Copies of this chain bind each other. A is one copy, B any other.
Amino acid sequence: MSIRIALLGYGNLSRGVESAIRQNPDMELVAVFSRRDPATVKIRDTKAAVLSVEELPAWKDKIDVLVLGGGSATDLPEQTPKYAEMFNVIDSFDTHARIPEHFANVDKVAKENGHVAVISMGWDPGMFSLMRMISDAVLPEGKHYTFWGRGVSQGHSDAIRRIPGVKDARQYTVPVESTVARVRNGETPELTAREQHTRECYVVAEEGADLQKIEEAIKTMPNYFADYDTTVHFISEEELKRDHSGLPHGGFVLRSGVTGWEKEHKHIVEYNLKLDSNPEFTGSVITAYARAVYRLAQEGQAGCKTVFDIAPAYLSPKSPEELRAHLL
């Protein structure tokens, strides 16, 4: 019997999970639940049901793992604890500062109801966290660096879209090559935000809008742009569609550390992702960890877990013997 997955929400991330399930023969998508009218939600998997979120409680015994496809700002803080009461769940909660609070809320409900909940899964948090943690343990005297990009930041793109006179926008986060070269070379500088990343903005303005004013509004926006070297390119709607419709991303985590009796040897550990599709890779990570959620629940475990708490073998459909024979 395959692992029965359901999705709450059907945005980019959920579509990524939908495709990933298709690549994992031991899993099946049984249903997509939406807050929209189900008749308006067109999914690609023809065997899965499309239902209103109101129907979710009735599926209590028909779903092994519920994947929460919502956003971190308002959806997940409410949804993950709520649905951990009825289901084993997994989310991609990525507001780093609020992770401890989210963990505590989810852990309480999951434990009380005997469910497994995995939070903050994807590539950052997720795979990058795993790399930071393991290389911190292996090289305790060192420094780590996380670079993102070159890739589309949806949060920054949205921030530009909220400026009056902007019709559409796409923002790329780009690592500063000279800084990357220094760190790869074994230097361990203290870096400002500006030294690590630049921000490239492609903006479609509304007709007659004051371009200079828009550019000014972007470049001085606190938190998002003011602390970075930001470039703004005004382009047409056609150009945006033609050249910037994908959601590529990536980045890398570097750990630079020393070993030896006199700390005389340097080591550089780098984990690097180049992703054609951010939501599909995130969805693929979540799908592998959904398998772990299922297995942990089968073992009778309960509570909230993160990437740090799960033995890697749980992610793979391969047997321990196969893993040892072919991948060790």
B-contacting residues, A6-24, CB 8 Å: 15-16, 18-20, 22-24
Point out the residue from B261, B273, B291 that lies within 8 Å of A269, measured CB to CB: B273
Contact between chains at B259 and A328 (CB < 8 Å): no
Contact between chains at A267 and B276 (CB < 8 Å): yes
Please indicate the chain B residues that have their CB under 8 angstroms from the CB of A327 in the complex. 129, 132-133, 136, 308
Selecting from A30-38, A216-224, A232-240, A281-289, the interface stretch reads A281-289
Find the B residue at minimum CB distance from A140. B23
Q: CA of A276 to CA of B275 in the docked complex: distance in angstroms?
A: 30
Find the B residue at minimum CB distance from A280. B259
Contact A268/B261 with A306-B328, A307-B328 known, Cβ cut-off 8 Å? no
Selecting from A72-80, A159-167, A205-213, A310-318, the interface stretch reads A310-318
Q: Mark A225-268, 1 if CB is under 8 A from B, else 0.
A: 00000000000000000000000000000000001110001111
Q: Taking chain A's interface residues, is the majority helix, strand, or loop, or is none over half, making it mixed?
A: helix
Q: Mark A101-122, 1 if CB is under 8 A from B, else 0.
A: 0010000000000000000100
Contact A276/B266 with A259-B16, A316-B137 known, Cβ cut-off 8 Å? yes
Contact A325/B99 with A276-B266, A312-B308 known, Cβ cut-off 8 Å? yes
At the interface, yes or no: A195 with Cβ under 8 Å from chain B? no
Contact between chains at A315 and B138 (CB < 8 Å): yes
B-contacting residues, A46-61, CB 8 Å: none
At the interface, yes or no: A190 with Cβ under 8 Å from chain B? no
Contact between chains at A268 and B274 (CB < 8 Å): yes
Cβ of A284 to closest chain B Cβ, rounded Å: 5
Point out the residue from B139, B273, B309 that lies within 8 Å of A267, measured CB to CB: B273
Contact A315/B269 with A260-B277, A260-B280, A320-B309 known, Cβ cut-off 8 Å? no
Contact between chains at B269 and A270 (CB < 8 Å): no
The 3 A-B pairs of least Cβ separation, nearest first, read A265-B276, A137-B315, A259-B280
29 pairs from A and B in contact (CB 8 Å cutoff): A19-B260, A19-B261, A100-B324, A103-B324, A120-B328, A127-B138, A130-B134, A133-B312, A133-B313, A133-B316, A137-B291, A137-B315, A259-B281, A259-B283, A265-B276, A265-B280, A266-B276, A267-B274, A269-B271, A270-B270, A270-B271, A270-B274, A307-B312, A308-B312, A308-B313, A308-B328, A309-B312, A310-B312, A311-B311
